[in-house]
Chains A and B, each alone.
Chain A
Amino acid sequence: NAGVTQTPKFQVLKTGQSMTLQCAQDMNHNSMYWYRQDPGMGLRLIYYSASEGTTDKGEVPNGYNVSRLNKREFSLRLESAAPSQTSVYFCASSQLTEAFFGQGTRLTVV
């Protein structure tokens, strides 16, 4: 099925651990995004990539790195997880003004 695939769906990390959230889309979209969703805050942009090989910071990039491996894949890395990074993470892709979202990753940092 066409769409945006995110893995994993759930993850629990200890403070200081690292992990990578994976995202892939099969719609040949140029732009991809990582957002986090926190209660009362809405969705906030962490990083985005307007095309393969480019990445830009969003509203809340601190503590994260990204990699646009190819046109399909855009990964989000937490090098040293902190409790403040407990959140639900969404990947999205877009072409022109259409946007599609992954199912989300619920991350808990203890």
Chain B
Amino acid sequence: KNEVEQSPQNLTAQEGEFITINCSYSVGISALHWLQQHPGGGIVSLFMLSSGKKKHGRLIATINIQEKHSSLHITASHPRDSAVYICAAWDTDKLIFGTGTRLQVFP
């Protein structure tokens, strides 16, 4: 069983839809990252969360430490949001990654 699990693995949406990606972890963590990776591209950190909620533009990330669960929401999705979204949990001094959620947003 992975220490960090994401769902769904694949997600397709029509432009404008509200999207939610979930992440559950079993390790004790100090913080959690949501990362974005475009096809053939590098990895960019979207959010780093240790509690509560953060918002950046159309992206919202929440974390519930007690339930060991985090969600990434995209409002008014757009084709340029198509990418792989990865959650990663800090376990002491190293990052443990989920396997990623591949999102495709169609016009």
Check if A33 sits within 8 Å of B94, measured CB to CB.
yes
Q: Which A residues touch B98, using CB under 8 A?
A: 42
Q: Give CA–CA (A51, B45) in the complex, Å.
A: 22
A40 lies within 8 A of chain B by Cβ: yes
Q: Flag if A99 contacts B95 (CB, 8 Å).
A: yes
* Contact surface of A with B, Cβ cutoff 8 Å: 31, 33, 35, 40-45, 48, 50, 58, 90, 92, 94, 97-104
Q: A43-B86, A90-B43, A102-B42 are in contact. Are A97 and B97 (CB under 8 A)?
A: no
In the bound complex, residues from chain B placing their C-beta under 8 Å from that of A31 are 93-94
Q: How far is the CA of A94 from the CA of B31 in the complex (A)?
A: 13
B-chain residues with CB within 8 Å of residue A40 when the two chains form the complex? 99
24 A-B pairs, CB-CB below 8 angstroms? Answer: A31-B93, A33-B95, A41-B99, A42-B86, A42-B98, A42-B100, A43-B88, A43-B97, A44-B97, A48-B93, A48-B94, A58-B94, A94-B95, A97-B30, A97-B31, A97-B48, A97-B50, A97-B90, A99-B48, A100-B45, A101-B42, A103-B42, A104-B42, A104-B43
* Count of residues in B whose CB is under 8 Å from the partner chain: 23
Contact A101 B48 (CB under 8 A): no
CB neighbours (8 Å) of B86 from chain A are: 42-43
A15–B43 CA distance with the chains assembled, in angstroms: 28
B contact residues vs A (CB 8 Å cutoff): 2, 30-31, 33, 35, 41-45, 48, 50, 86, 88, 90, 93-100
Given A90-B43, A97-B48, A103-B42, A42 contacting B97 (CB threshold 8 A): yes
Of the listed residues B41, B42, B45, the one surrounded by the most CB atoms of chain A closer than 10 A to its CB is B42
Please give the distance in Å from B6's CB to the nearest CB on chain A.
Answer: 8
Chain B contacts for A45, CB-based, 8 A? 94-96
A42 touches B99 (CB 8 A): yes
**8 smallest A-B Cβ distances: which pairs?**
A42-B99, A97-B31, A43-B97, A101-B43, A103-B42, A42-B97, A50-B93, A97-B90
